[in-house]
Structure 1
Amino acid sequence: MMLRLVWRPKARRDLLDIAAFIRQRNPLAAQRLSALIRDAAERLPEHPYVHRPGRVPGTREAVVHPNYILIYRVLADTVEVITVLHARQNYP
């Protein structure tokens, strides 16, 4: 059974904020990074356990770019993207 992908509102805002920040200096890089993160998230339902266990119990962390990490959790029928972080951000 294929899992469903769900983005929490915070994760969507994080992605938009990251892209907006990068777009100020390099619009093409912002577009590429946004696509890279979305594509990585779209692959999560196929192989949800391929990425490392997260620092917060019950989560997993996908390093989708040297500077960006997708935090997600696997539920019964869903992969839920919780947040997108810059690698230097304090987390949790």
Structure 2
Amino acid sequence: MKVRWVAVARQDRADIVDYIAVENPRAALKTDKLFSEATGKPGDFPMLSRMGKIPGTHEFIPHESYRLVCEVDEAANRAWVLALVHTARQWPPTQED
């Protein structure tokens, strides 16, 4: 199964890695590697994830502080990473966000 990151999720990832790198570049690289490894999970084992808080999505926790939100289309053999969210943030976002 092919896994694609949508633009917003790619930006989420870049922002997280950049933020961590300010204080600890090594930790930023390690965290980004976790995100890379986690993207294989939706493609390899989409039904092993938990059902997402938004209908039609699946969620993975690649790190205790981050939630990776995906949409899986088994018929198209494709998964999209829709968001990468810190677990302390409100998810799903409220209407005002």
Matching of residues 1-92 of structure 1 within 5 Å:
3-75=1-73, 76=75, 77-92=77-92
**Runs of 4+, deviation exceeding 6 Å:** none
Find the residue that maps to 1:36 and give its secondary structure: helix
Aligned-pair CA distance for 1:59: 0.3
Secondary structure of 1:58's counterpart equals coil
TM-score normalised according to structure 2 size: 0.89
RMSD value, Cα? 0.8
In the alignment, the residues of structure 2 paired with residue 42 and residue 18 of structure 1 have an alpha-carbon distance, to the nearest angstrom, of 19
Query: Aligned residues: percent identity?
Result: 31
Aligned length: 90
Unaligned runs of 5+ in 1: none
Extract unaligned runs of 5+ from structure 2. Answer: 93-97
